[in-house]
Amino acid sequence: MLDDFLIRAGLAGLGLALATGPLGSFVIWRRMAYFGDATAHAAILGVALALALHLPIAAGTLIVALTMALTVSTLAAKGWAMDTTLGVLAHSALAFGLVAISYVPSVRADLSSYLFGDVLAVTKADLGLIWGGGALVVALLAWRWQALLTATLNEDLAHASGLNPDRERLALTLALAVVVAVALKVVGALLIAAMLIIPAAAARGIARTPESMAAIAIGIGAAASLIGLQLSLWQDTPAGPSIVSAAAIIFALAAIFGRIRNS
């Protein structure tokens, strides 16, 4: 069954949706959209690093994404203006990554597969990585769930309950880096943040509790993956952008549905 490239692609999309649903919800609740973008853009630099050092691509992106996420967290804790810092870091990471990768002649040709993903070329090994990483993120979030929610609501409240908000923030940072490494093959560095934000944003209008929002976001991410792949196959469009387009259409429908229901 896994020999069919389309089934592998579909499973890759589902594996990614499993992780981006709950993590994307936190990205929205904590207003980390730009933070996600910066971390995801750093993935291109990770690809260049991996190729230069002959590391697996996933290891390179994981290291660089993690470094980026930790740098941003540290600067934020030191009171740097977040909007500006992220604006500088996100675009610098992308620019440096693109410059660095131009030194690797073999990649120049399929640079777009790193920018926009190449889900139709997902191998069994990739699939193992995507589901392994996705499971890791889901397990981490499930384990820390109550503490993460409390710290997201109010850090003082978390403190007073004996929790450590810094530790919870670190858990999210780790999860984000893993998702970036996992998502690179599916939607590419430029659209990873979209897979985090759009399904969760679409789920917001429908959900009544944090848990239902995360679950609905998983469902929407999964549906967008499958619809996007079909679209890609049928119209011969790039798969990653097609998946994100499908998610955006679901978001629009959910927003309209929400307006009608509330009026």
Partner 1 sequence: MTLLAAQNLSVRFGGAEVLSDVSLTVHPAEIVTILGPNGSGKSTLLRALLGILPLSSGQVTRAAGLRLGYVPQKLAIDRSMPMTVRRFLSLPTRVSNAEATAALARVGLPDVEARQMAALSGGQFQRVLLARALLSKPQLLILDEPTQGLDQPGEAAFYRLIEEVRRETKAAILMVSHDLHVVMAASDRVICLNGHICCEGTPRVVSNAPEYRALFGLGTQGALALYQHQHDHSHDHDHGHGHDHAHPHSHDTDSHTHA
Closer of 197 and 243 to partner 1 (Cβ): 197
29 counts as binding partner 1 under rule CB under 8 A: yes
User: Which span sits near partner 1 by CB under 8 A: 13-21, 81-89, 159-167, 247-255?
Assistant: 159-167
The Cα 197–Cα 30 span in angstroms is 12
164 counts as binding partner 1 under rule CB under 8 A: no
Name the one residue in this structure whose structure tokens are 């959900």.
207
Helices (H), the chain: 5-29, 33-53, 57-77, 82-101, 105-108, 111-116, 124-153, 155-160, 165-187, 192-204, 210-235, 239-262
31 counts as binding partner 1 under rule CB under 8 A: yes
261 counts as binding partner 1 under rule CB under 8 A: no
74 counts as binding partner 1 under rule CB under 8 A: no
> Could you tell me if residue 54 is left (phi over 0), alpha (psi between -120 and 50 degrees) or otherwise beta?
left
150 counts as binding partner 1 under rule CB under 8 A: yes
Query: Dmax of the chain from CA atoms?
Result: 58
225 counts as binding partner 1 under rule CB under 8 A: no
149 counts as binding partner 1 under rule CB under 8 A: yes
Q: Are 224 and 243 in contact (CB under 8 A)?
A: yes
Residue choice 23, 101, 163, 179 for contact with partner 1 (CB under 8 A): 163
Residues that bind partner 1 (CB under 8 A): 28-29, 31, 146-147, 149-150, 152-161, 163, 204, 207-213
